[in-house]
Amino acid sequence: MQVNSIPTTAYTDQKPGTSGLRKKVKTFKQKGYLENFVQAIFDAIPEHKGTTLILGGDGRYYNLPAIQIILRMAAANDFKKVIVGQHGILSTPAASAIIRKYKAIGGIILSASHNPGGPDEDFGIKFNSANGGPAAEKITDKIYTYSKNIFRYLIINSDKINLDEPGTQSLGKMQVEVIDSVSEYAELMNGLFDFSKIKSLLDNDFSMIFDAMHAVTGPYAKEIFENRLGAAKGSVWNAKPLPDFGGGHPDPNLTHAKKLVDAIMTDNGPDFGAASDGDGDRNMILGRNCFVSPSDSLAVMTANADKIPGYAKGLKGVARSMPTSLAVDRVAEQLNIPCFETPTGWKFFGNLLDADMITLCGEESFGSGSSHIREKDGLWAILFWLNLLAETKKSVADIMKEHWDRFGRNYYTRHDYEAIDASKAAALIEQLRSRLPEIKTSEWSEYKVQDCDDFEYIDPVDNSSSSQQGIRILFDNGSRIVFRLSGTGTVGATLRIYIEKYEGNPDKQDMDTQIALQGLIRIAEDLTGIKQNFERSAPDVIT
């Protein structure tokens, strides 16, 4: 078998952040571009020879051609084996589980998560390490440096590998094993949750809708909800993964999953609704006429973990990303367990999970997960809620109400301004940073600043530090405003403004979120001058 060493011509130009490399499909299709990044990954883990790699993606446009290229490169780079999801499909959480189960050196996941797909849309690639989680910064920095200096990549010539049936085949000296990741993942979930209790709930007049948004979770959800748990046929919407996600944004939030939201947010809607994103790691939870904010979802899961078989022994601790609301902190305090605040992105949770310091973790961006893998896990969160509903026989709305009665409510919203001018956005953050001393002494009617900073994280496991992770302003009544720039957008910059307010009085806990937060929203708009400086009349997405 001949190994070709081909000069690279196209250089990737994005420092892989929280989610690998994300670019337009057209960029990825440039000659040598994907190959450059893949070779940089292989070069960054020189110990890969003779080991196993996991490979799959969310089914978006360019998934299959990319997999064929990566397989031929893996063979040329002397991997012993590549395990690929059937039809090239692997959700991010399934990939994480499979890396761990097969003790692989890592995995390559092809996805741009919740970003749209199609010939004119986004593609992405990320490398997860042997623990199943996103590679640590020291690896991604290496990949970046190598991708800048690379001069060749290795590939063998071969025909297309058939990915449609489970089984093992040879590619040069390497083995390619195609696996059915759906049943492996379903078994993992079966070990954590009480499937028979959920099944009797679903048998008993309880109705649910899960919207797979034509993304990767469709096959997993059909198998778990409809086949194993007995949800009515048709409960899983948009179950077929499509290369362009049916033209939609596979992002489970109030804006992009509007049809689902409209179906559930009525007095006679189904009991339960949920959705997941492009690569299956996000979740949105809804009950009849009730939206559960992701920050609240993490707090509720923490408060009720003892009711779920997989977590009945108690929690070591919990963690949330910095912009996630403080709701879970209040629960952790009552449970007397540690609560960690990390920068945005799952890799920071990975260290805490590996060190057994936490059991649950989550982000405001519709992500939550646990020690079972090293990625956030959309279907896991949904099963957690179903198990909780089956166990308590309460509605989602009742669970929320009781939670707020007990712990108080953290009103929470995120306002996103998308595709704004990147250099102006960087200047805005820079300006806020330089104004911190002045902001520290500011006061707006009932809102008096108690503290503000640019978040810096010192990892308690390896002492590594990550600075400039977002501007946070804490008020003396427990309210917060946080500003940060997205690291996952592919057009210009996205400014995210996170706003929250604590309300301990049960009589004031059923306000509309945007109204409850309007004073703070105005302060955030004043501080950024977003409307004038960027000529925007409103945020692009409000969650």
The footprint of ligand VG1 (CB under 6 A) covers 18-19, 113-114, 277, 279, 281-282, 321, 344-346, 363, 365, 486-488, 496
Residue 276 CB, nearest approach to ligand VG1 (Å): 10
DSSP at 67: H
The residue among 93 and 317 lying less far from Co ion, judged by its C-beta, is 93
- What's the rounded Cα separation, in Å, for the pair 377 and 415? 24
Residue 215 CB, nearest approach to Co ion (Å): 9
Residue 277 CB, nearest approach to Co ion (Å): 4
Catalytic residue status for 113: yes
The residue among 418 and 453 lying less far from Co ion, judged by its C-beta, is 418
Task: From residue 429, give the alpha-carbon distance in Å to each of 42, 426, 481.
Answer: 35, 5, 14
Residue 174 CB, nearest approach to ligand VG1 (Å): 29
* Contacted by 19, from ligand VG1, Co ion, none: CB < 5 to 8 Å by type: ligand VG1
The residue among 36 and 113 lying less far from Co ion, judged by its C-beta, is 113
Exactly one of 91, 96, 111, 113 is catalytic; name it: 113
- What's the rounded Cα separation, in Å, for the pair 412 and 543? 9
The residue among 238 and 490 lying less far from ligand VG1, judged by its C-beta, is 490
- What's the rounded Cα separation, in Å, for the pair 270 and 381? 19
- What's the rounded Cα separation, in Å, for the pair 160 and 72? 9
* Contacted by 142, from ligand VG1, Co ion, none: CB < 5 to 8 Å by type: none
Residue 59 CB, nearest approach to ligand VG1 (Å): 15
Beta bridge partners of 176: 82, 169
Q: Find the angle CA(494)-CA(500)-CA(506) to the nearest 5 degrees.
A: 150
* Contacted by 488, from ligand VG1, Co ion, none: CB < 5 to 8 Å by type: ligand VG1
- What's the rounded Cα separation, in Å, for the pair 298 and 482? 19
The binding site for Co ion (CB under 5 A) comprises 113, 277, 279, 281-282
Residue with tokens 């070709």: 4
Residue 280 CB, nearest approach to ligand VG1 (Å): 9
* Contacted by 413, from Co ion, ligand VG1, none: CB < 5 to 8 Å by type: none
The CB density around residue 50, as the number of other CB atoms within 10 Å, is 10
Residues 6 or more apart in contact with residue 181 via CB below 8 angstroms: 56, 85, 86, 89, 90, 91, 94, 95, 98
Euclidean distance between the first and the last CA atom of the chain, given in angstroms as a whole number: 53
The CB density around residue 130, as the number of other CB atoms within 10 Å, is 16
The residue among 113 and 324 lying less far from Co ion, judged by its C-beta, is 113
The residue among 281 and 329 lying less far from Co ion, judged by its C-beta, is 281
Residue with tokens 């949330």: 320
DSSP at 91: -
Active-site amino acid positions: 113
